[in-house]
Structure 1
């Protein structure tokens, strides 16, 4: 039987190790728990990288799992960390073999996992009960189904990610004096993960944002050679004032940048979801993954969505006919997105949020 929300549990453990975007979707679940079950102790088992971003959320105990320990080191370490502890609830929110094996170190009276369509890699062997409700929903909606399975129907759609003083100091004096567009051009490097648009198209969007909205450009990203190549090419192809922060900020420093941006443009990536969590108008670029599942949750109306066309070209099928979350594996799929698509979404996002650099200047 679902737990009666009038009698909240004493303790809840959330197991979600990665990645940054997915962990950002867990944060509203945590905020809902804090607001509606304020006496419940919350523990989050999380990955080392993700902890650097979310580990200062107030009211949450974090237990960090380091990939560097290897699975055979991480499981005993987690068992030692949780020795003599038992939780009322485990929300097992990651369906992977690694997370499943780590879950054996977490003792809980009730273990809730994904339902059959979403419980990959044998997760159902490691849980007592499954979430219910539609499976073809956004990842964030799926995470809220864990609370519903526990008996809590409320939703607090809020992030409130802390930005420490040292992160503010990290970017102080480095950002433009005028309103700016942030572009984080690259997604994570994984096999057959074709999410990156071309540098020339990003530069055209930056030029449009500067000429039409008076927005300078701030480039962000990690320290990889590909991201450096993108940053150099974009900078060379636009007349917009550019601040290049690629490879030059911490994760919290990136968050400090995003919270000051007038808008964000980028592919399905961690920075995109952090921008969404920061309340920034976000234009997501989606052709190889379905934005209805993994898009910027508060900004789905502004997605440049060519996933249906790319899927039809690759498989000859509509979105409704394929597995939820099916990826397009065509290296050229992102070419379905045009500069005009993105410019139109940017116009709409800035108009709806009143965030245009020119209108801000006119009102000052």
Structure 2
């Protein structure tokens, strides 16, 4: 058994080493290409007067990263009201979240298989996009898709590894929130356009999603109006961001003490067992989950997709940060706050949720 464990550790170490070597080699290649044909410095210029078709590329499956697009997409829609804005993403489950945003035309999903991928590239080129945007500074997939789109204007972040030739480029400020960086890309690279900017995440579930969410709500909490506020929580997160089950049980105990009139509702992934002895619900469809989250008074979660989805749905969120920086990944929404550090307790997080709940009740929102 000890030998097997040792072998597993060695295998993990080799995989990590290979991954680092690949990343280093790719970075060296990017830097070399940038010297000859890329965009190492910012380029600020007006958009072409006839910019009517825009493609935003974000080929990443993480829910939070897709939601970080929403302030930028809303800024584009409000500032270019005659333009049609399409988006290219990787996960079809996220498609309804973007389709309901104002000004969004078509949400393309990257298919599997070489033949289907070639077909998508051909369809994108037939759209004759006036502008293609890579809203990140570190995705080779995004850059490749922007290049293959055939758009006559290209926007992205300048760097010494930006091998794509850009017509509009901004310097990347890593100190900013990830969502704010995407908005800053627009304002810092485009001249002669007064952008109407947005600084919070947003989703707008349709009537179908609202109806489905209502059914889940009744299943979890029973028919009729709930007595007192409903405080939601999500106990899962990836890697070092996750908090142990015992921590969450302590948090629940503290919440019952601080907000005795409130009902606790655990949001759990489909197929996962509840963490605590409270009401719970599992929802697979992301737009339905957004609609259900919008019914909560407060939501508490570690840095995760559901944390950002709740903020986008308009819920005051208490984000818990042990392994990531709230400066870059905090929940962006009205009434949202963060608890950060390596050793904060369930009681501290519960007090933060109680303060947010009290503020909401005092404002008459809850």
TM-score (structure 1 length as normaliser)? 0.76
Show the 5 A alignment for 1:146-157. 146-148=185-187, 149-151=189-191, 152=193, 153-157=195-199
Aligned to 1:340: 347
1:250 aligns with one of 267, 285, 294: 285
CA deviation after TM superposition for structure 1 residue 351, in Å: 2.6
Q: Tell me the SS of whatever aligns to 1:354.
A: helix
Q: Is the 8 A contact 1:291 1:300 kept in 2?
A: no
Distance in structure 1 (CA, Å) of the matches to 2:313 and 2:102? 17
Aligned to 2:152: 109
Aligned to 1:37: 80
Aligned to 1:97: 140
Aligned to 2:18: none
Q: Is the 8 A contact 2:254 2:350 kept in 1?
A: yes
CA deviation after TM superposition for structure 1 residue 81, in Å: 1.7
Aligned to 1:187: 237
Q: Tell me the SS of whatever aligns to 1:284.
A: strand
Aligned to 2:294: 259
2:93 aligns with one of 49, 59, 72: 49
Count residues with an aligned counterpart.
Answer: 309
Distance 1:63 1:161, change over 3 A: closer
Q: Tell me the SS of whatever aligns to 1:17.
A: coil
Aligned to 2:11: none
CA deviation after TM superposition for structure 1 residue 356, in Å: 10
Q: Deviations over 1:87-139 (max 9, x none)?
A: 2221112432333333332112221112328xxxx543364442236331100
Distance in structure 2 (CA, Å) of the matches to 1:275 and 1:156? 17
Distance in structure 2 (CA, Å) of the matches to 1:93 and 1:339? 36
Q: Give unpaired runs (5+ residues) of structure 2.
A: 1-42
Q: Which structure has the bigger radius of gyration?
A: 2
Distance in structure 2 (CA, Å) of the matches to 1:292 and 1:160? 19
Distance 1:107 1:5, change over 3 A: closer
With CA pairs under 8 Å and 6+ residues apart, which has the higher RCO, 1 or 2? Answer: 2
Q: Tell me the SS of whatever aligns to 1:205.
A: helix
TM-score (structure 2 length as normaliser)? 0.75
1:174 aligns with one of 198, 216, 219: 219
CA deviation after TM superposition for structure 1 residue 160, in Å: 4.8
Aligned to 1:303: 338
Distance in structure 2 (CA, Å) of the matches to 1:74 and 1:138? 35
Aligned to 1:14: 56
Segment drifting more, 251-260 vs 215-224: 215-224
